[in-house]
Amino acid sequence: MEYSQFIEVRRQLHQIPELGFEEYKTQEYLLNFIKNLPQQYLQITTWKTGVFVKVIGYNPSKVVGYRADIDGLPMKEETNLSFESKHEGRMHGCGHDFHMSIALGILSHFASFQPKETLLFIFQPAEEGPGGAQPMLESTYLKENRPNMMVALHIAPEYPVGTVATRKGLLFANTSELFIDLLGRGGHAAYPHTANDMVLAASHFVTQLQSIVARNIDPLDSAVVTIGKITGGTKQNIIAERARVEGTIRTLSMDSMEKIKARILALAHGIEVGFECKLSIDFGANYCQVYNDEKMTEPFMNFVKNRANCNLIECKEAMTGEDFGYFLREIPGFMFWLGVDSENGLHSNYLNPNEEAIPFAIELLIDYLKSL
């Protein structure tokens, strides 16, 4: 089989990015592709906008799960590629089009050549939010068809094609969204004493949030509180009655995550008192850490290390968030970074990964799954 054909599959998927639990065209594409494969060993089941495909092994001792996430991001593509997104304000800016095309390549091989072990391909929606892994794990299908191990990859723009980077133990951080609404009293800019300015309150609050990691978290631990968006006010001469702050929290330990959330609540109370306003806080989607099982990760790393034309890097932990962590919390397995050599990083409007990583990854994972 010529695995370079899956570059075109990626380009087709790249044009139809959809947000979490709205991946209707994506699911349709996946189902049409899978139904055109030999069906002798396949069992296809849908779940919301996701897809399960079981490949029955000829002498199975376990079920190996392989997960690919399928959603895109709410961002405008700026790549000017001939196959750029056809969905305005939507882009596969995190490489899930790569993840899907690689999974389809692996599946295509084993649909024609029956594997020894039973394989379960999981095309998971909503990784970018609100989170599809946890509800998928709670589905009737996965309760009745639970894999014995799980494998997944994520593209890595900073590594060249041919590179696999991973580590035993903690790979990705715990993450939490952060949404804060401030409500005060609006008024005329000429009479500030009659109003409670929520632009001013939000500005003070953002500054205070940046003290948490510096003064409340063990310096030998690692944590990040990032505010990525502030909105407030309607006109330059109207004191803002409302403001909204949006951000993210990332930690390498659950203890630090709990400390940061508690500190945010305490600081919020201080803002309420000091600015005579009301704050509401929503921690949104929370993803647990991605923790690679040592007994499964080490053999995979050795497999890669001994493979020609493949470079293994034992990488450090990253503050990246990934809801694959929910799978690994219940099922042992691992995730790894796949080098795609892009000048622009993940979640960039200009992300343009090297497509030669697709056939490389397909061949690598077919041989790895055969080795189990």
| Domains in the chain, CATH or no CATH each | 3-172+289-371 (3.40.630.10), 174-286 (3.30.70.360)
- Contact partners, residue 240, CB within 8 Å, separation at least 6: 184, 186, 197, 198, 199, 232, 233, 234
Per-residue model confidence (pLDDT) at position 303: 98
- Give the pLDDT confidence of 126-162 residue by residue, as tens digits: 999 999 999 999 999 999 999 999 999 999 999 999 9
Please check the confidence at residue 77 and state whether its pLDDT lies above 80. yes
pLDDT of residue 2: 86
Q: What is the pLDDT of residue 367?
A: 98
pLDDT score recorded for residue 285:
87
Model confidence over 217-264: pLDDT tens digits? 999 999 999 999 999 999 999 999 999 999 999 999 999 999 999 999
Tens-place pLDDT, residues 25-75: 999 999 999 999 999 999 999 999 999 999 999 999 999 999 999 999 999
Judge whether residue 336 has pLDDT over 90.
yes
Q: What percent of the chain has pLDDT over 70?
A: 100
330 is catalytic: no
Span 97-122, average pLDDT? 98
Task: Give me the residues paired with residue 63 across strands.
Answer: 118
pLDDT (0 to 100) of residue 1: 74
N- to C-terminal Cα separation, the chain: 21
Average pLDDT for residues 206-220, to the nearest whole number? 96
Nearest Cα neighbor of 92 from 107, 77, 112 is 77
Q: Which pLDDT does position 325 carry in this prediction?
A: 97
Question: What are the beta bridge partners of residue 18?
Answer: none
8 A C-beta contact, residue 26 and residue 13: yes
Please list the helix, strand and coil fractions of the chain in percent, rounded to the nearest 5, in that order.
35, 25, 40
SS3 221: coil
Please tell me the distance from the alpha carbon of residue 258 to that of residue 23, in angstroms, as a whole number. Answer: 33
**88 catalytic per annotation:** no
String of b and e for 40-74 (b: at least 16 CB within 10 Å)?
ebbeeeebbbbbbbbbbbeeeeebbbbbbbbbbbe
In this prediction, residue 96 has a pLDDT band, given cuts at 50, 70 and 90, of very high
Q: Which residue among 18, 77, 127, 128 is the active-site one?
A: 128
Mean pLDDT computed over every residue of the chain: 97
pLDDT tens digits, residue range 281-329? 999 989 999 999 999 999 999 999 999 999 999 999 999 999 999 999 9
